[in-house]
């Protein structure tokens, strides 16, 4: 997925934010990404989303290089993956149903009636399809965000602190649903979180520090060093 990838921001010349990083995910594997504030977690997701071009190295998703694509190809690539944001990023004038199907329709796909019914039922928002985002609770809005990220059957979902605005119980519900749905659909999920409790839902946990990734117990030591 990452092959010797590096990012150096202006003013960070001494210490790359992402430093010669390499890692791979198996199909359907889920990864929780932890790290101190400013360690580069969002930068790493932005690289994978094709929103940022690395200074060195390559990024490969679904056996194809993300690096080296044109602006149009990157826009098309971004429509093929799923993104879940901390601030939900729902379109205020659109109903829940139209929000969920927004990216799906951009991809020119046929109406996914059965899948829409299945996924919204699993997420407990099937009775809210005609509501507007402001009529929903935060937890419900994020479940709409998850449905939107999954309905077009992406191979990769990136979630940047998706429960940062939710209380602990709702955070656990949302992350449990998201990881279950991704597992059922064999979708790679990478979630940035500050919560070790939420990271426990993931088989694989990495810690980002000084531009490098550390695994599991090795990472817990590195992050507190
Ligand atoms: N566009 C940019 N230009 C210059 N520096 C940037 C830019 N974007 C991020 N940075 C710097 O890169 C570093 C990593 O930022 P990033 O947002 O990836 O961290 P993070 O681990 O997601 O932090 P947090 O947990 O606080 O959200 C920070 O020092 C940040 O100031």
Mutational test site, ligand 1, from 38, 207, 213, max ligand atoms within 8 Å of CB: 38
37 CA to centre of ligand 1 in angstroms:
8
35 Cβ closer than 6 Å to some ligand 1 atom: yes
67 CA to centre of ligand 1 in angstroms:
20
Give me the mean pLDDT over the 159-178 stretch.
92
37 Cβ closer than 6 Å to some ligand 1 atom: yes
Q: Specify the ligand 1 atom closest to the Cα of 192.
A: 22
The residue nearest atom 1 of ligand 1, judged by CA position, is 9
Give me the mean pLDDT over the 1-17 stretch.
70
Residue 134's closest CA among 96, 168, 102, 173?
96
171 has a pLDDT exceeding 60? yes
Higher-confidence residue of 220 and 106: namely 106
Instruction: Report residue 221's pLDDT band, with 50, 70 and 90 as the boundaries.
Output: low
Query: What are the structure tokens assigned to 187, written together?
Result: 């979708």
Task: Say which CATH topology domain 2-81+154-224 has.
Answer: Rossmann fold (3.40.50)
Q: Are strands 30-35 and 56-61 parallel, antiparallel or unpaired?
A: unpaired
Q: Per-domain residue ranges for the chain? A: 2-81+154-224, 93-152
Contact 189, 33 (CB under 8 A): no
How does pLDDT run across 190-218, given as a tens digit for each residue?
Answer: 999 999 999 999 999 999 998 888 886 55
222 has a pLDDT exceeding 60? no
What's the pLDDT at 113? 82
List the end-to-end C-alpha distance of the chain, in Å, as a whole number. 27
How does pLDDT run across 82-114, given as a tens digit for each residue?
Answer: 999 999 999 999 999 999 999 888 888 777 788
Q: In what order do the strands lie in the sheet with 64-65?
A: 18-23, 2-7, 56-61, 64-65
What's the pLDDT at 81? 95
Give me the mean pLDDT over the 136-145 stretch.
94
17 Cβ closer than 6 Å to some ligand 1 atom: yes
How does pLDDT run across 23-81, given as a tens digit for each residue?
Answer: 889 989 999 999 999 999 999 999 999 998 888 888 989 888 898 899 999 999 999 99
């Amino acid at each position: 997925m990452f092959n010797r990838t590096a990012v150096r921001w202006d003013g960070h010349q001494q210490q790359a934010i992402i430093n010669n990083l390499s890692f791979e995910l198996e199909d359907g594997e889920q990864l929780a990404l932890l790290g101190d504030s400013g360690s580069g977690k969002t930068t790493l997701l932005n690289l994978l989303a094709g929103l940022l071009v690395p200074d060195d190295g390559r990024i490969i998703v679904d056996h194809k290089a993300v690096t080296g694509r044109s602006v149009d190809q990157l826009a098309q690539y971004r429509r093929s993956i799923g993104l879940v944001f901390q601030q939900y990023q729902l379109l205020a004038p659109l109903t829940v149903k139209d929000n969920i199907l927004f990216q799906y329709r951009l991809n020119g796909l046929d109406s996914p009636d059965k899948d829409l019914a299945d996924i919204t039922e699993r997420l407990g928002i099937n009775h809210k399809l005609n509501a507007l985002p402001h009529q929903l609770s935060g937890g419900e809005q994020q479940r709409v965000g998850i449905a939107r990220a999954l309905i077009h059957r992406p191979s990769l979902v990136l979630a940047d602190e998706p429960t940062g605005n939710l209380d602990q119980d709702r955070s656990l519900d949302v992350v449990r649903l998201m990881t279950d749905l991704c597992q059922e659909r064999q979708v790679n999920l990478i979630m940035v979180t500050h919560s070790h409790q939420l990271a426990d839902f993931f088989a694989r946990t990495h810690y980002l520090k000084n531009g490098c990734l550390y695994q599991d117990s090795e990472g817990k030591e590195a992050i507190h060093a």
